[in-house]
Amino acid sequence: GEDVEQSLFLSVREGDSSVINCTYTDSSSTYLYWYKQEPGAGLQLLTYIFSNMDMKQDQRLTVLLNKKDKHLSLRIADTQTGDSAIYFCAETLSGGYNKLIFGAGTRLAVHP
């Protein structure tokens, strides 16, 4: 079945790196995403990775994908207070233009 799991909370000091982890169960995932939700706001696509890739870097963001272990991580370098938000891991399956399967979301708190 389809299931995406992630830890619920992460607290980091400003300037440190944050690593948010996610595991998924469906091996037919085509794309895996990280969405950011700031307080009172909608979902913003942060980054994504295609299932045949191992790593993707985009400025302060690094996504690592381990297909064997079905593990996805998001690393935010030099974390800032503006990075405080809920981060959702999500997957879409082959041909799945109509459905995203979300994790429960990780609340990232950045403190001085």
Residues that bind another protein (CB under 8 A): 4, 8, 30-31, 33, 41-43, 45, 48, 50, 88, 90, 92, 96-100, 102-105
Q: Which residues of 74-97 are buried (b: 16+ CB within 10 A; e: fewer)?
A: bbbeebeeebbbbbbbbbbbeebe
Distance from chain centroid for Cα 91 = 10
Least Å distance between CB 13 and another protein?
26
- Residue 95 CB, shortest distance to another protein, in Å, is 9
Between residues 41 and 77, which has the closer beta carbon with respect to another protein? 41
Dihedral pair phi/psi, residue 82, rounded to 5°: -70, -10
Q: Give least dist CB 40 to another protein, A.
A: 8
Indicate the residue among 77 and 104 with the shorter CB distance to another protein. 104
In the complex, the smallest distance separating the C-beta of residue 93 from another protein, rounded to whole angstroms, is 9
What number of other Cβ atoms are within 10 A of residue 104's Cβ? Answer: 13
| Of 16 and 88, CB closest to another protein | 88
Q: Are 49 and 72 in contact (CB under 8 A)?
A: yes
Spatial distance between the Cα atoms of 85 and 106, rounded to a whole number of angstroms:
8
Complex with another protein: residue 15 or 44, whichever CB lies closer: 44
